[in-house]
């Protein structure tokens, strides 16, 4: 038996892509195709991640996704774990000083320090993750510009 709502929608829009394609309008946003690659690493230096690069940190309790913004300062946007929305942070090895955050490697088997940054860039609060179980570096297949 066919649902009436499905029948009406298919007559109105035709193929399943048409409603999305016809109504999708993004102002000032371009999507650029790039090659997607992902690799698992044992350690990573945040300062060596390109701007827009994604580092996935899987700990024994959570998964965090960190998009590098200013990798020379180890600053980017993170989501996951106890953070309910994407937040600007400085990501570093647990014992790294703020000035060394971009040069000290994060390592599997160790913990990371996440410092939440306020609107002016000043540290607001921070926390230490549980032990890192896996580190992945991923180049995205698209980027918004």
Q: Is residue 54 part of a domain?
A: yes
Q: Is residue 22 part of a domain?
A: no
pLDDT of residue 140: 57
Q: Is residue 47 part of a domain?
A: yes
Q: Which residues of the chain fall short of a pLDDT of 70?
A: 1-36, 139-145
Q: Which domain holds residue 133?
A: 32-144
Q: Is residue 59 part of a domain?
A: yes
Q: Is residue 121 part of a domain?
A: yes
This prediction has a pTM of: 0.70
Residue 2 DSSP label: -
Q: Is residue 113 part of a domain?
A: yes
Count of domains observed in the chain:
1
Sheet order of strands, 112-117 included: 37-41, 132-139, 54-59, 63-70, 75-80, 83-93, 112-117, 123-128
Q: Is residue 131 part of a domain?
A: yes
Tens digits of per-residue pLDDT, 31-68? 444 445 778 999 999 999 988 899 999 999 999 999 99
CA distance 96 to 68: 18
């Amino acid at each position: 038996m066919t649902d009436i709502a499905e029948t009406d929608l298919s007559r109105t829009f035709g193929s399943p892509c048409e409603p999305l394609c016809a109504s999708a309008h993004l102002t000032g946003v371009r999507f650029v195709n790039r090659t997607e690659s992902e690799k698992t690493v044992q350690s990573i230096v945040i300062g060596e991640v390109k701007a827009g690069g994604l580092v996935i940190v899987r700990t024994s309790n959570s998964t965090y996704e960190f998009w590098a913004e200013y990798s020379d300062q180890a600053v980017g946007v993170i989501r996951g774990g106890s953070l309910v929305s994407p937040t600007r942070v400085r990501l570093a090895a647990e014992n790294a000083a703020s000035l060394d955050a971009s040069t000290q490697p994060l390592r599997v088997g160790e913990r990371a320090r996440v410092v939440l940054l306020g609107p002016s860039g000043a540290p607001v609060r921070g926390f230490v993750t549980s032990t890192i179980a896996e580190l992945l570096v991923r180049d995205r297949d698209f980027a918004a510009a």
